[in-house]
C-alpha cells in the first residue's frame, strides 16, 4: 500500500515537473522571441536616430548655404570693388613699365655711344624723356599703385577666408573657439548687408576661448547680425554687440534699434519655418537652427524686445561641458 502511494506521488511529481519544464521552455521561447523583437526595434531605432541626425546636419548646412545665397550679391559686390581697382592698377603699372623700359633703352644707347658727341646727344635725349615723363613722379605713383593693389588683394583674401570659415563643415570634435574673432569674421561677411542701415558698435570683454564648433557658431552670429540689420531697415540705426565674461559662460548680446517684436512674435521666434520676412528673404529656419546650435554648446539663447525701441538677442555659451544657467 505504501509503495502504491509513493508511486502515485512520484508520478504526480513527475507530471508536475514535466509540465513545469514545458512551461519554462514555452516562456523561454517567448522571452527569446521578445528579446529578438526588442533587439530589432533597438537597431531600427538606432538607424532612425542616425538618419534624423544626418538629416538635421543636412538641414543646418542647407540653411547655411541659403544664407550665403541671400548674401551672394553683397559678397560679390565686396569682392568686385577691390578686384576692379586691382585691375585698373595693373593696367596703369603696365603702362608705367613701358615708360621705364623706354628709359632703360635710352640708357643703353648712352652706354653704347661711340663718341663723346654721340654720347652727349643721347644724354640730351635721355634727359628730355625723363623730364617729359616725370619719371620721379611715375616711380612714386607705381609704389602707391602696388601698395593699393596689395591691400585690394588682401581684402579679397580676407573675404574668401571669412566665407570659408562660415561655409566650413565642422569636424565631429569640438575645437577651441575665439568668440570675438568669430564675431569680427561674421561682421566682415555681413558688411554689405548692414552697411547702409546700421552703425555697428563693439563692446568686448577679454574672454577665453571656449570648446565649440566655429562654423556653427558663425552661423548663429550671422543670423543675429543680419536679422538686426533687417529690423532696422532703411530708416537707419545701430547694432551693438557686447561680449561679457561670466563665471561659467560667455555672453554675446546683439542689440538693434529696429522696429522691435510683439509678444506673439517673441513666443514663436524659435519655431521652425516661422518668419516675419517677405517671401524669398528668408527660410524661416535661421533662428530655429541657431537655437539648436546654441543648445548643442550647452548654452541658451533668449530674446528681449520692445516695439519701436529695439531687440536684444543674448547667447550664453558654456566655458566647459556643463549646461549654463539662464542669465
Which burial class, exposed, middle or buried, applies to 49 when counting CB atoms under 10 A from its CB (0-12, 13-18, 19+)? Answer: exposed
Tell me the three cell numbers of residue 326: 539662464
The answer to whether the CB of 257 falls within 8 A of the CB of 238 is yes
pLDDT string in tens for the chain (327-residue length): 567 777 777 777 778 888 877 787 787 788 878 877 777 777 777 766 666 666 656 666 666 666 666 566 666 766 777 788 788 888 888 888 888 888 888 888 888 888 888 888 888 888 888 888 888 888 888 888 888 888 888 878 777 776 666 666 666 788 899 999 999 988 988 887 888 889 999 999 999 999 998 888 988 998 899 889 988 987 889 999 999 999 989 999 999 999 898 888 888 888 876 676 655 555 567 788 888 889 888 899 999 999 989 999 999 999 876 666 655
Q: Is 63:283 a contact under the CB 8 Å cutoff?
A: yes
CATH 3.40.50.1980, applies to 177-318: no
pTM: 0.59
**Cα separations in angstroms, 165 against 170, 240, 283:** 10, 23, 21
Where in the chain are the domains? Answer: 1-49, 84-162, 177-318
Angle between helices 214-232 and 2-111 (to 10 degrees): 70
Burial class of residue 265 in the structure, from the number of CB atoms within 10 Å of its CB (0-12 exposed, 13-18 middle, 19+ buried): middle
Give me the count of residues in the chain. Answer: 327
Rounded alpha-carbon distances, angstroms, from residue 249 to 73, 121, 206, 300 = 36, 80, 13, 10
Amino acid at each position: 500500500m505504501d509503495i502504491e502511494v509513493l508511486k502515485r506521488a512520484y508520478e504526480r511529481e513527475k507530471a508536475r515537473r514535466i509540465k513545469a519544464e514545458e512551461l519554462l521552455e514555452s516562456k523561454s521561447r517567448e522571452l527569446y522571441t521578445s528579446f529578438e523583437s526588442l533587439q530589432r526595434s533597438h537597431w531600427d531605432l538606432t538607424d532612425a536616430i542616425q538618419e534624423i541626425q544626418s538629416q538635421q546636419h543636412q538641414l543646418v548646412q542647407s540653411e547655411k548655404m541659403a544664407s550665403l545665397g541671400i548674401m551672394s550679391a553683397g559678397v560679390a559686390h565686396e569682392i568686385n570693388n577691390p578686384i576692379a581697382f586691382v585691375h585698373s592698377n595693373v593696367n596703369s603699372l603696365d603702362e608705367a613699365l613701358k615708360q621705364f623700359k623706354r628709359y632703360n633703352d635710352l640708357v643703353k644707347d648712352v652706354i653704347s655711344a661711340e663718341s663723346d658727341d654721340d654720347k652727349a646727344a643721347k644724354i640730351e635725349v635721355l634727359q628730355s624723356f625723363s623730364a617729359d615723363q616725370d619719371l620721379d613722379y611715375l616711380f612714386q605713383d607705381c609704389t602707391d599703385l602696388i601698395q593699393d593693389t596689395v591691400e585690394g588683394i588682401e581684402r579679397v583674401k580676407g573675404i574668401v577666408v571669412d566665407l570659408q570659415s562660415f561655409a566650413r563643415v565642422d569636424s565631429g570634435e569640438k575645437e577651441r573657439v575665439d568668440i570675438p574673432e568669430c564675431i569680427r569674421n561674421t561682421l566682415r561677411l555681413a558688411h554689405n548687408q548692414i552697411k547702409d542701415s546700421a552703425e555697428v558698435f563693439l563692446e568686448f570683454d577679454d574672454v577665453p576661448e571656449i570648446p565649440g564648433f566655429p562654423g556653427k557658431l558663425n552661423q548663429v552670429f550671422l543670423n543675429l547680425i543680419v536679422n538686426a540689420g533687417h529690423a532696422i531697415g532703411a530708416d537707419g540705426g545701430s547694432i551693438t554687440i557686447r561680449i561679457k565674461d561670466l563665471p561659467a559662460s560667455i555672453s554675446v548680446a546683439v542689440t538693434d534699434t529696429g522696429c522691435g517684436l510683439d509678444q506673439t512674435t517673441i513666443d514663436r521666434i524659435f519655431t521652425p519655418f516661422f518668419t516675419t520676412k517677405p517671401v524669398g528673404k528668408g527660410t524661416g529656419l535661421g533662428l530655429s537652427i541657431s537655437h539648436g546650435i546654441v543648445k548643442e554648446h550647452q548654452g541658451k539663447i533668449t530674446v528681449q524686445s520692445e516695439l519701436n525701441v529695439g531687440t536684444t538677442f543674448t547667447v550664453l555659451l558654456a566655458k566647459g561641458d556643463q549646461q549654463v544657467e539662464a542669465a
